[in-house]
Amino acid sequence: MMMDDLKDNVDKERELRALAVHCNMLARSFARCSNEVKITLFKAFCQSFYTCSLWVSYAQRSAGALRVQYNNAFRMLLGLPRFCSASGIFAETATDGFPAILRKRTASLLSRLRRSSNSILNVFTDWWDSPLLHQWMCLHADKHIGG
């Protein structure tokens, strides 16, 4: 959603609410399923983050809140304690953590823009001050985004 201030915080808050709804629905409806089934459902319903590759202007607070919600949702779905290591769980289950999803989606968008024959779209990848290119570099270099 485009806001007058060009910030992506409202879109992130929308994704935060959607993630909570999806995970609660999965946890209630599939509580007795195997972890393998739960993980497959989590990947299908809780990793979409529609338009996340376009998030370039937002408060770190909103990024952190979404990452924490994502981690807690995965723990809750698998019935794990709230304070166990999220990165360890993601590694053990071959599931992308929130920072990996952001990196992959942004890299995919940049790749598609670079392959485009549309000269207007190419400007976004050829322009060194591009907010999208800047975000991609931050996602790959800045550790505080991934936590």
How many Å apart are CA 73 and CA 105, to the nearest integer? 20
CA torsion sign, 13 to 14 to 15 to 19?
positive
Residue 2, CA distances (Å) to 17, 61, 133 in order = 18, 19, 19
Q: What is the pLDDT of residues 79-98, one digit of tens each?
A: 999 889 999 999 999 999 98
Exposure string for 78-101, b = 16+ CB within 10 A, e = fewer: beeeeeeebeebbeebebebbbeb
- When comparing pLDDT for 15 and 4, which is higher? 15
Which segments of the chain are extended strands (E)?
Answer: none
- More confident of the two residues 26 and 2: 26
Q: How far is CA 108 from CA 24, 27, 43, 92, 101, in A?
A: 29, 30, 18, 25, 10
What CA–CA distance (Å, rounded) separates 101 from 105?
6
- pLDDT, one tens digit per residue, over 94-137 is 999 988 988 888 888 888 888 889 888 777 777 767 776 776 67
